[in-house]
Structure 1
C-alpha cells in the first residue's frame, strides 16, 4: 500500500532523486558509535532536533485548548489537564521537554566549542547555532507565563526587570514585551503568546533550515 502511494507521488513529482540524495549520504566514520564510543557526543544535535519536534507537535496540541487571556488562561490549562484525554501527558511532555531541549542544545554547543567545530569554514553555522540557542531561551521564557499562575506571574516580573536593566534600550525592551511598562497584565499575556506561538517558531524554522543546509554542504566536523 505504501509502495503504491510512493509510486503514485513519485510519478507526478519525481521525488526519488531527492530522497536518494538524502538517504545515500554517507556518515563519516568518526560519528559512528559502533566504531568510536566518543561518537556519542555527536548525537546531541540530533537529540536537540528530536526534542524540538516533540515540542512543536505537543505545542500544536496545546494551542487547540489554550485561551490566551487573563480570565481564561489558567482555567483552559486546568481543563486540558483534567478533562481532555491524554491532555496531562501531552502538557507534561511539553513542560519537561522545554527543559530537556535547553540541556541538549547546551551540550551540543559545548561539543562544537571544545572540538573547535566553529572554526573555518563553519563560522556562519556557529553564528546560526548561537542564534538558535537564544531563540530556544526566548521560547522558554515566553512559554513560562502562559499557564498564568502565581509562579509564572512573578517569574515573568523578574525576567522583565532583568530586561529593563539593559543599558539604554532596557525600558523599550520591557515595553515591547510587556505592552504595559508598569504591570504584567492582559497585554503581556497576549504578546507572550504571540511571540511564543508565531514569531519565535518562525525564526526557529528559518534558522534550523539554514543550519541543516550548511551542515549538508560542509559536512559533519571531525575530531579536534
Structure 2
C-alpha cells in the first residue's frame, strides 16, 4: 500500500531523485559508532533535532487547549492536566523537553567548539548555531510564563528586569516583551504566547534550514 502511494506520488512529482540525494548521502567513517566509540559525540546534533521535533509536536497539541488569557490560562492548563486523555503526559514531555533540548544543544556546542568545527569554512554555520541557541533560550523564557502560576509570574518579572538592564535598548526591549512597562499582565501573557508560538518558531525553522543546508554542503567536520 505504501509503495503504491509512493509510486503514485513519484509518477507525478518525481521525488525519487530528491529522496536518493538525501538517503544516499555518505556518512564519514569517523562518525560511525560501530567503528569508533567516540563517534557518539557526533549524535548530539541529531538528538537535539529529535527533541525539537517532540517539542513542536507536543506544543501543537497543547495549543489546542491552551487559552492565552489571564482569566483562563491556568484553568486551561489544569483542564489539560486532569481532563484530557494523556494530556498530563504530553504536557510533561513538553515541560521536560524544554530543559533537555537546552542540555543537548549545550553538549553539541561543546563538541563543535572543542573539536574546532567552527573554523574555516564553517564559521557561518557556527554563527547560525549560536543564533539557534539564543532562539531556544527565548522559547524557554517565553514559554515559562504561559501556565500563569505564581512561579511563572515572579520569574518573568525577574527576566524582564534583566532585559531592562541591557544597555541602550533595555527599556524598549522590556516594553516590547511586556506590553505594559509597569506590570506583568494580560498584554504580557498575550505577547509571550505570540512570540512563543509564532515568531520564535518561524525564526527557528528558518535558521535550522540554513544550518542543515550548510552541513550538507560543507560536510561533517573531522576529528582533531
TM-score, normalised to structure 2, is 1.00
Once residues 191 and 14 of structure 2 are traced to their aligned partners in structure 1, the CA distance between those partners, rounded to angstroms, is 43
Tell me which residue corresponds to 1:126.
126
Equivalent position of 1:58 in the other structure: 58
Inter-partner Cα distance in structure 1 for 2:110 and 2:190: 35
Aligned equivalent of 1:204: 204
What's the offset of the Cα at 1:169?
A: 1.0
Question: In 1, Cα distance between the equivalents of 2:204 and 2:34?
Answer: 32
Gaps of 5+ in 2: none
Cross-structure match for 2:44: 44
Q: Please give the alpha-carbon distance, in whole angstroms, between the structure 1 residues aligned to 2:170 and 2:211.
A: 30
| Equivalenced residues, count | 224
Name 1:72's counterpart in structure 2: 72
Residue 97 (structure 1) aligned with residue 89 (structure 2):
no
Q: What SS does the corresponding residue of 1:55 show, helix, strand or coil? A: helix
Q: For 2:60 and 2:169, how far apart are their aligned partners in 1? A: 33
Query: 2: CA distance between counterparts of 1:166 and 1:60?
Result: 32
Q: CA RMSD in A?
A: 0.3
Deviation string for 1:71-112 (max 9, x for gaps)? Answer: 000000000000000000000000000000000001000100
Q: Report the equivalent of 2:142.
A: 142
Structure 1 gaps of 5+ residues are none
Residue by residue, what CA displacement relative to the aligned partner does 1:88-147 show, whole Å, maximum 9, x if unpaired? Answer: 000000000000000000100010000000000000000000000000000000000000
CA distance in 2, matches of 1:33, 1:197: 36
Equivalent residue number for residue 9 of structure 2: 9
Match of 1:156 in 2: 156
- Counterparts of 1:207 and 1:165 in 2: how far apart (Å)? 27
Per the TM alignment, residue 167 of structure 1 is displaced from its structure 2 partner at its CA by 1.2
Partner of 1:215: 215
1:30 matched to which residue of 2?
30
Per-residue CA distance 1:143-178 (angstroms, 9 max, x = gap): 000000000000000000000111111111000000
Could you state the TM-score of these two structures normalised by the residue count of structure 1? 1.00
Which string of whole-angstrom CA distances, capped at 9 and with x for unpartnered residues, describes residues 6-59 of structure 1? 000000000000000011100000000000000000000000000000000000
